[in-house]
Amino acid sequence: MAEVVLEELSALAAIFCGQDEWEVLSRSETDGTVFRIHTKANGLTDADIPLELVFHLPVTYPLCLPAISITSEHLTRAQCVTVKEKLLEQAKNLLSEPMVHELILWIQQNLRHILNQPETASGNEKCTFPTSTIVEDGLWITLLHLDHMRAKTKYIKTVEKWASDLRLTGRLMFMGKIILILLQGDRNNIQVPKS
């Protein structure tokens, strides 16, 4: 990984040092780095809108654009897509230099203007991913619902090994009796084979 990228990641970790503001999801010499940042930006009513931004910096970054995913419970799916598109447009102006912090500052300053545009100002659908969706360049996200789990510790270790072997990132969530596994990774590693 280029030294300039390591410096950028170190700076981002120092800037977003609050609880749950920064998390590295995966780091690989062949696939690059994936990390999540939680931040806020002013919306239409001057109220802070929480944003979750996931950046995937490929090994050729900053000579190529990062993959970006945006989610917020306060934005519609169309608004999330528009915000992502505007961020990627802005990123094109910053190619060949570290850009993540600049992009975050830009969205914090411009979210209100983006949401004020007619194509993003309406819609009722919340910005959450369906059960399985393509996010960017073969990157998939899928949500699995488990019926039960007998040997919890052993099962968790098995899921972690599978995720590691397939180069997937994800979360295992226990919500009362509901057990969910959220996975993100290359389409070929996450796609359920057709029977």
Where residue 75 sits, what CATH number does that domain have?
Answer: 3.10.110.10
**Is position 32 within any domain?**
yes
Among 127, 146, 163, where does a domain finish?
A: 127
Smallest CA-to-CA distance from 35 within 23, 19, 51, 27 is with 23
| 88 and 168 share one domain | no
95-110 burial string, b = 16+ CB within 10 Å, else e? eeebbbeebbebbeeb
Among 127, 148, 172, where does a domain finish?
A: 127
Burial (CB count within 10 angstroms: exposed 0-12, middle 13-18, buried 19+), residue 143: middle
| 87 and 51 share one domain | yes
| 121 and 149 share one domain | no
**Is position 93 within any domain?**
yes
**Is position 195 within any domain?**
no
Smallest CA-to-CA distance from 32 within 64, 72, 77 is with 64
- pLDDT for 191 equals 60
pLDDT tens per residue across all 195 residues of the chain: 578 888 999 999 999 988 899 999 999 888 899 999 999 998 887 788 999 999 999 999 989 999 999 999 998 888 999 999 999 999 999 988 999 999 999 999 999 988 887 654 444 444 443 443 334 445 677 778 877 777 788 888 888 888 777 777 878 887 777 888 888 877 666 665 444
| 110 and 141 share one domain | no
| 88 and 181 share one domain | no
| 102 and 165 share one domain | no
For the domain that residue 160 is a member of, what is the CATH number? 3.30.70
Residue 108, φ and ψ in degrees, nearest 5: -65, -35
* Angle of the 100-115 helix axis to the 3-15 helix axis, nearest 10: 60
| 142 and 84 share one domain | no
| 80 and 110 share one domain | yes
| 19 and 91 share one domain | yes
Among 106, 127, 148, where does a domain finish?
A: 127
Structural domain span for residue 59: 3-127
| 96 and 51 share one domain | yes
| 42 and 92 share one domain | yes
Count CB-CB contacts under 10 A for residue 28: 11
At 87, is the secondary structure helix, strand, or coil? Answer: helix
| 31 and 70 share one domain | yes
* Predicted TM-score (pTM) of this structure: 0.61
